[in-house]
Chains A and B, each alone.
Chain A
Amino acid sequence: MVFEETELRLGLGLGLPGNEAELGLRKRGFSETQTETTTVDLMLNLSPKESAAADGPDPRDNTNTSPKEKTLLLPDPAKPPAKAQVVGWPPVRSFRKNMFAAQKSSEEESEKSSPNASFVKVSMDGAPYLRKVDLKMYKSYPELSDALGKMFSSFTIGNCESQGFKDFMNESKLMDLLNSSDYVPTYEDRDGDWMLVGDVPWEMFVESCKRLRIMKGKEAIGLAPRAVEKCKNRS
C-alpha cells in the first residue's frame, strides 16, 4: 500500500505566556520519518522491546526472525515507536492488568509523585492509538511540542496496516482538513479540568498535568465526523 506523502501540521500553541510571537495557534510541519519502523505502542505501558511483533515479519516465520536486542531498559519515549502489542500477549489475566491500571491511576491522584518519571497519556483526535510521554524528559514547552510532533507524525504516513489508518488516509477531505486545521493541545489537570497547554510555567504544568489531548479545531470535527468516528471505534 502506497500512501501519499502528506504533512501533518500541528498547531501546538505551546508558547510561554508573554511571548507574543508564540501565543495562540502555531502551525508546524513535520516531515516523514523514514528510518523508524512505524508501529505503535498501544494503551498499556508494556515495554515495547518485549512485545511480540504483530505486523512486519510474520511471527510464525521463525527462520527469518532477526535477533532481538538484549537491552532490558525502557526506551526513551522520544525514540522510534515500539512494536505493536498483540491481543492477549503476554498472557496475563485481564483482572491483574486492570488491577494495576487502577493502582496507577490512584497513585497519580495522590499527593506524592514519582521523583524520576511522570508518564502521562497523550491522545490525538483522529488517531486510533494513544501514546505515553514522560514529561520529566523535557525542560520546556517547545521540547515537548517537538517530541509530540515526532510521535504523531507516524500516524499520517508509513506502513501501519490497521484498517483505521486506511480510512483515515483515504478521506482526502480529512487530509485537506488536517493540513489546514489547527491542533489545540490541551491537558487534564489534577482537578479534572481541561486546560490549554502553555498557560502556566513549565514546572507547574508538569506537576499538575495528568493527561494530554491534542484536539482538532472545531471545524474539523464538524466536517468529517464519520472518519473520526471510525478511528475512534478502532481504538
Chain B
Amino acid sequence: MNYFPDEVIEHIFDYVLSHRDRNALSLVCKSWYRIERCTRQRVFIGNCYSITPERLIQRFPGLKSLTLKGKPHFADFSLVPYGWGGFVSPWIEALAKSRVGLEELRLKRMVVSDESLELLSRSFTHFKSLVLVSCEGFTTDGLAAIAANCRFLRELDLQENEVEDHKGQWLSCFPDSCTSLVSLNFACLKGEVSLGALERLVARSPNLKSLKLNRSVPLDALQRIMMRAPQLADLGIGSFAHDPESEAYIKLKNTILKCKSITSLSGFLEAAPHCLEAIYPICSNLTSLNMSYAAGIQGSDLIKLIRHCVKLQRLWIMDCIGDKGLSVVAMTCKDLQELRVFPSVHLGNPAAVTEEGLVAISKGCPKLHSLLYFCHQMTNAGLIEVAKNCPNFIRFRLCILDATKPDPDTMQPLDEGFGAIVQSCRRLRRLSLSGQLTDQVFLYIGMYAEKLEMLSIAFAGESDKGMVYVLNGCKKLRKLEIRDCPFGNMALLTDVGKYETMRSLWMSSCEVTVGACKLLAKKMPRLNVEIFNENEQEDCSLEDGQKVEKMYLYRTLAGKRKDAPEYVWTL
C-alpha cells in the first residue's frame, strides 16, 4: 500500500468511517497517520478531560464534527456534586480561535453556557447541527442565538436538558431565510413557544423530517403543524389532551390519516387516554414508539395501542403496562430490537413488571438486542430462559427496584441468572447488574464477557475478589462504575496498568482508602485520580486511612485539570 500515491490512500480512507477503524488506520505507519489526520472529519472524545482542545485541533485540522462527553455516567443519578466540571467553553473558544470549520457539535452531560452558544453561533459559518443530551447551564437566550445566527442550521436536537426558560421568543429568532431545518427537538423545554412562529417555521422547512414538541404546544396547534409537514417521519407530541367531541380533535384525526410517513412517535407529555385512538391509523407504520413520559396513560390503554404496532423495532414504555401488557408486546412486535421499561412507582402506580414480562418478551422477540428493564423482582430461572431465547444481547441493563433482592422463588442470589446471560450473549457490550449478588457473578463475567465494554455494579459482591475477576477477565472493558460494594484497596491496586486501557473507573461508597488512591496516582501519572470530599469542614486533610466516599479516575494526556471545584482533590 505504500506504493500508492497519497490521493489514492485518501480516497480509500473516505470509505472508512467508524472511529475505531480510523484510529486503527492511524497506527499503521507514519504516512497513514499523517493522511488519516488530515482527512479526518469526525472525532469522538468520550471524556472531555482526556485531551486538550488545542491538541485536538492540532491533530485534526479538517475537523467538521465533534462529539464530547463530560460528566461521569452516575451524574445522571445525582451522585456527582454540582460544579464538578464538564464545561464546554474552553472547547468552543479554542475552536473559534482556530481555522476549524466546525459543522456539527454533539455534547453529552456537559455544562453549556449561553455565552458559549452565542460564540458557537457566530464563529462557524457552515455550522449545521447541534445536539445536546443531558446538558445544563444554558437558557433559551442561548437557543435564540443559535436560531438567529446559524444560517444553514439543519439540526437542533435538545434531549433531556435542564434549560432555564427566559420567556424570550427564541423560536421567533429563526430568520425567514432559514429554510434548511431537518430536525428540531425542543421537547425538554418547560416554557411556552410562539405557536405562530413555530407554524411558520415548519411551513418554510420542506426538509423537516423530525419534530419534537414540548408540553406547551396544544392539540390544535399540533394539527396545523402536521398539516404543513406531511413529510414528517419522526414526531414528538407535546400536549395530547382534548375533548373527543371537539372540532380540533376531529380535525386532528383526519390530519393524522394523511401522515403516512411517520415511523417514529414520542412525547405524549400530557395525554388523555381517549385521544390515543387518533393515532391508531398510523401505528402500523411505526418502528419506534416512546411512551415513557406519558404519565396519564394506563396499562390498558397502552395495550390497546400496542396491538396496532406490528412493525415496532424500538419501544420505550412505563412499567404500568404490566407483565400482561408485555405479553401483548411479545405477540405483536415480532421485530422488536430495543426495549426500555421505566418505573412508574413515583406516580403512585402499583402495577409493575416482573420476570414474567421479560420472559414473555424473550420468547416472542428473538431479535431483541438492547434492554433496559426496571422491575420488582427477577428470578434465576427467568434470566436463564431469557439468555436461551435471546443470545443476541448487546446491551442488558436490569434494575430491580429493591437493589439487593434475591430470587424470590429460591431466595438465592442472582449469580446464576446473570451468569447465563454473559455465557449465552457473546456479543454483550454493556451490562448493568442488580439484585442480590455474590462474588460468583463476577467470576462468570470475567470468564465469559469477552466483549464487555461497560459494566455498572451496585450493592453487589462480597469481597475484593469480585472486582479482581472483572479487571482480570474483561479485556475490552472501558468503563467500570461501582457503588456501594465491598471492594477495597486490594482490588483497586491489583492491576494498575489496566486503567490506562480503560476510559474511566468510578467507585463510590466502597472500601477504598485515600492512601490507596494516592499510591495509584503516584504509580500512574497518566491517570487523573479524583476524590470528592464533600465534608463541610474545609480544613480537613486527607488522611491515608480515611475511606473515600467518591472516586473517579480516568486516563488523560491533559494532566491535572484546572477547572476542578474545591471539593475535588486530584491526587
Question: What is A's interface to B at a CB cutoff of 8 Å?
Answer: 44-47, 49-53, 59-60, 62, 65, 67-68, 70, 72-74, 86-100, 102-104, 106, 117, 119
Kindly list chain B residues whose C-beta atoms are within 8 Å of the C-beta of A70. 377, 408
Kindly list chain B residues whose C-beta atoms are within 8 Å of the C-beta of A50. 345, 376, 401-402
* B376 adjacent to A88 (CB under 8 Å): no
User: Shortest distance in angstroms between A98's beta carbon and chain B's nearest beta carbon?
Assistant: 8
* B293 adjacent to A99 (CB under 8 Å): yes
Query: Interface of chain B, helix or strand or loop or mixed?
Result: loop
Of the candidate stretches B8-16, B28-36, B361-369, B458-466, the one touching chain A is: B458-466
* B352 adjacent to A92 (CB under 8 Å): no
Of the candidate stretches B306-314, B416-424, B482-490, the one touching chain A is: B482-490
* A65 adjacent to B404 (CB under 8 Å): yes
* A52 adjacent to B459 (CB under 8 Å): yes
Kindly list chain B residues whose C-beta atoms are within 8 Å of the C-beta of A89. 77, 403, 458
Query: Interface of chain A, helix or strand or loop or mixed?
Result: loop
* A72 adjacent to B376 (CB under 8 Å): yes
Q: How far is the CA of A96 from the CA of B161 in the complex (A)?
A: 10
Q: Which residue of A lies closest to B159 (CB)?
A: A95
* A95 adjacent to B160 (CB under 8 Å): yes
Asked if B51 is an interface residue, CB under 8 A from chain A, the answer is: no
* A86 adjacent to B346 (CB under 8 Å): no
A93 contact from B160, B345, B374, B438, Cβ within 8 A: B160
* A91 adjacent to B486 (CB under 8 Å): no
Kindly list chain B residues whose C-beta atoms are within 8 Å of the C-beta of A67. 406, 408, 411
User: Shortest distance in angstroms between B465's beta carbon and chain A's nearest beta carbon?
Assistant: 14
Ranked 3 nearest A-B pairs via Cβ? A88-B77, A50-B401, A52-B403
* B436 adjacent to A62 (CB under 8 Å): yes
Kindly list chain A residues whose C-beta atoms are within 8 Å of the C-beta of B160. 93, 95-96
* A59 adjacent to B350 (CB under 8 Å): no
Q: Which of B465-501 contact A (CB under 8 A)?
A: 483-486
* B404 adjacent to A95 (CB under 8 Å): no
Kindly list chain A residues whose C-beta atoms are within 8 Å of the C-beta of B393. none
A94 contact from B77, B376, B402, B456, Cβ within 8 A: B77
User: Shortest distance in angstroms between B5's beta carbon and chain A's nearest beta carbon?
Assistant: 51
Q: Which residue of A lies closest to B486 (CB)?
A: A60
Kindly list chain A residues whose C-beta atoms are within 8 Å of the C-beta of B76. 91, 93-94
Q: Which residue of B lies closest to A74 (CB)?
A: B350
* B404 adjacent to A62 (CB under 8 Å): yes
Asked if B564 is an interface residue, CB under 8 A from chain A, the answer is: no
* A103 adjacent to B342 (CB under 8 Å): no
User: Shortest distance in angstroms between B267's beta carbon and chain A's nearest beta carbon?
Assistant: 11
A-B contact pairs, 11 of them (CB 8 A): A45-B345, A47-B345, A62-B413, A62-B462, A67-B406, A67-B411, A73-B350, A88-B79, A92-B374, A98-B162, A106-B270
B343 contact from A62, A90, A99, Cβ within 8 A: A90
Q: How far is the CA of A202 from the CA of B292 in the complex (A)?
A: 37
Q: How far is the CA of A46 from the CA of B402 in the complex (A)?
A: 11
* A46 adjacent to B346 (CB under 8 Å): yes
User: Shortest distance in angstroms between B2's beta carbon and chain A's nearest beta carbon?
Assistant: 50
Q: How far is the CA of A96 from the CA of B436 in the complex (A)?
A: 26
User: Shortest distance in angstroms between B27's beta carbon and chain A's nearest beta carbon?
Assistant: 36
* A90 adjacent to B401 (CB under 8 Å): yes
Kindly list chain B residues whose C-beta atoms are within 8 Å of the C-beta of A96. 160, 292-293, 342
* B77 adjacent to A91 (CB under 8 Å): yes
* A65 adjacent to B343 (CB under 8 Å): no
Q: How far is the CA of A46 from the CA of B408 in the complex (A)?
A: 21
A100 contact from B134, B346, B399, B403, Cβ within 8 A: B346
| A95-B188, A96-B160 given; A87·B461 CB < 8 A | no
Asked if B295 is an interface residue, CB under 8 A from chain A, the answer is: yes
A46 contact from B77, B345, B351, Cβ within 8 A: B345
* A-B CB pair tally, cutoff 8 Å: 118
Kindly list chain A residues whose C-beta atoms are within 8 Å of the C-beta of B177. none
User: Shortest distance in angstroms between A49's beta carbon and chain B's nearest beta carbon?
Assistant: 7
Q: Which residue of B lies closest to A50 (CB)?
A: B401
* B347 adjacent to A104 (CB under 8 Å): yes
Q: Which of B154-209 contact A (CB under 8 A)?
A: 160-162, 188, 190
B190 contact from A73, A88, A97, A102, Cβ within 8 A: A102
* B459 adjacent to A95 (CB under 8 Å): no
* A45 adjacent to B346 (CB under 8 Å): yes
* B343 adjacent to A60 (CB under 8 Å): no
Q: How far is the CA of A96 from the CA of B318 in the complex (A)?
A: 12
Q: Which residue of B lies closest to A83 (CB)?
A: B402
Kindly list chain B residues whose C-beta atoms are within 8 Å of the C-beta of A87. 77-79
Kindly list chain A residues whose C-beta atoms are within 8 Å of the C-beta of B79. 87-88
Kindly list chain A residues whose C-beta atoms are within 8 Å of the C-beta of B401. 47, 50-51, 90
Kindly list chain A residues whose C-beta atoms are within 8 Å of the C-beta of B459. 52, 59-60
Q: How far is the CA of A96 from the CA of B79 in the complex (A)?
A: 15
| A93-B160, A95-B160 given; A100·B347 CB < 8 A | yes
User: Shortest distance in angstroms between A4's beta carbon and chain B's nearest beta carbon?
Assistant: 28
Q: How far is the CA of A93 from the CA of B71 in the complex (A)?
A: 13
* A68 adjacent to B402 (CB under 8 Å): yes
| A44-B346, A65-B436, A102-B190 given; A92·B405 CB < 8 A | no
Q: Which residue of A lies closest to B508 (CB)?
A: A88
Q: How far is the CA of A94 from the CA of B79 in the complex (A)?
A: 10
Kindly list chain B residues whose C-beta atoms are within 8 Å of the C-beta of A73. 350
Kindly list chain B residues whose C-beta atoms are within 8 Å of the C-beta of A68. 402, 405, 408
Asked if B44 is an interface residue, CB under 8 A from chain A, the answer is: no
Q: How far is the CA of A52 from the CA of B403 in the complex (A)?
A: 5
Q: Which residue of B lies closest to A114 (CB)?
A: B348
Kindly list chain B residues whose C-beta atoms are within 8 Å of the C-beta of A90. 343, 374, 399, 401, 403
Q: How far is the CA of A112 from the CA of B108 in the complex (A)?
A: 38
* A119 adjacent to B483 (CB under 8 Å): no
**B261-302 Cβ-contact flags toward A at 8 Å (1 or 0):** 000000001100000000000000000000011010000000
Q: Which residue of A lies closest to B485 (CB)?
A: A60
**B240-276 Cβ-contact flags toward A at 8 Å (1 or 0):** 0000000000000000000000000000011000000
Residue picked from B295, B401, B438, most chain A C-beta under 10 Å? B401
Kindly list chain A residues whose C-beta atoms are within 8 Å of the C-beta of B347. 45, 100, 104
Kindly list chain A residues whose C-beta atoms are within 8 Å of the C-beta of B403. 52, 59, 86, 89-90
**B366-406 Cβ-contact flags toward A at 8 Å (1 or 0):** 00000000101100000000000000000000010111111
Q: How far is the CA of A98 from the CA of B215 in the complex (A)?
A: 14
Kindly list chain A residues whose C-beta atoms are within 8 Å of the C-beta of B348. 45, 74, 117, 119
Kindly list chain A residues whose C-beta atoms are within 8 Å of the C-beta of B376. 50, 72
* B399 adjacent to A91 (CB under 8 Å): yes
Kindly list chain A residues whose C-beta atoms are within 8 Å of the C-beta of B456. 91
User: Shortest distance in angstroms between B103's beta carbon and chain A's nearest beta carbon?
Assistant: 27
Q: Which residue of B lies closest to A98 (CB)?
A: B162
Q: How far is the CA of A94 from the CA of B462 in the complex (A)?
A: 30
User: Shortest distance in angstroms between A79's beta carbon and chain B's nearest beta carbon?
Assistant: 15
User: Shortest distance in angstroms between A86's beta carbon and chain B's nearest beta carbon?
Assistant: 7
Residue picked from A50, A65, A74, A86, most chain B C-beta under 10 Å? A50
